[in-house]
Amino acid sequence: MMSGPAARPVDRLDLVLWIAGGAVFAFIYLPLAVVIVYAFHDSPIIAWPLQFGTLKWFAALAHDRGLLQAALASLKLALLAVAIAIGVGLPGALVLDRFDFPGKTAFRRLVLLPLILPGIITGVALLSFFSFVGLSLSSGFPIVPGWPVVLGHAAALTSVVITQVFARLQRFDRAQEEASQDLFANEWQTFRYVTFPNIRTAVLGAGLLVFTLSLDEIAVTFFLIGRQNTLPIQIWGLLRRGITPEVNAAAAIIFLLSLTVIVIWARLMREDQAG
């Protein structure tokens, strides 16, 4: 009886790459895993051995009025930032794609500057500007955490919308718009029925990304927030008294929410590129 083919020896380079990849993933995600694990730890003391099987820290969050108010403020802030960023970024991307104007090349290169700059510089710059124009940090309606922080988040994240939508417009077949105009559609009808449906996934994906970044933003928020804390600021204040299981539970919820939004954004971007 003939024996089977001899097993191929393991490629050493492949083994090294697998080990390196595993080390990178452990370096990035192991701290997140620790936070989530301790959110289900029964003891109020964060120490070994672990005592799994409790949800009481999540229940405690539901009765923490300060954290609930901060979470609601963060949600309102993120939604308003998304609305303003899309409202400004979408026309900006269209102008950047359709028109030539002085400084266009420089604008394309500098549009990501708010994201590249350290948050502390952006926060100080926006605080100085709002002080110059006389806009108080606590100004706003009852449902708004404060217009300066809303405008600050939108200003810092509008570049995300511009770059995402502009990249999609570059792949858009303008012949469809020309066909629409040949059928006597005006510019608004062409945008509504032809252009926007083709860039809709890019707009939605950019909005989700802005929502996630705004929800987790702390540097710009620290300089511009008024009397109302956001969730990251509230958690940072709690951490000054030490890490507690409630903080781990809040961090676990934020992580899962951010992960869900990012997964949806990635699927939208994949569908957009496939289309």
Residue 247 to residue 250: CA distance in whole angstroms:
5
Q: In terms of Cα–Cα distance, which of 199, 215, 119, 113 is closest to 158?
A: 113
Dihedral pair phi/psi, residue 134, rounded to 5°: 80, 30
Specify the long-range contacts of residues 54-60, CB closer than 8 Å, at least 24 apart: 57/245, 57/246, 57/248, 57/249, 58/249, 58/253, 60/245, 60/246, 60/249
Q: What's the pLDDT score for residue 232?
A: 84
| pLDDT (0 to 100) of residue 7 | 46
Residue stretches of the chain with pLDDT short of 70: 1-10, 43-51, 137-145, 242-243, 271-275
Dihedral, CA atoms, 189, 192, 194, 198, nearest 10 degrees?
A: 170
Q: Confirm whether pTM is higher than 0.85.
A: no
Judge whether 251 and 235 are in contact, CB under 8 Å. yes
Handedness of CA 188, 190, 196, 197 (dihedral sign): positive
The crossing angle, in degrees rounded to 10, of helices 231-239 and 245-274 is 140
Cα distance between residue 125 and residue 147, in whole Å: 16
Closest CA to 199 of 99, 86, 85: 86
pLDDT of 260 reads 83
Q: Please report the pLDDT score of residue 86 as a whole number.
A: 93
Taking phi over 0 as left and psi of -120 to 50 as alpha, with beta for the rest, 254 belongs to alpha
What are the tens digits of pLDDT across the range 58-100?
Answer: 777 777 788 888 888 888 888 999 999 999 999 988 888 888 8
Which tokens go with 188? 């608004």
203 neighbors 158 (Cβ within 8 angstroms): no
Cα–Cα distance between 9 and 6 in angstroms, integer? 9
Domains along the chain with CATH numbers: 57-274 (1.10.3720.10)
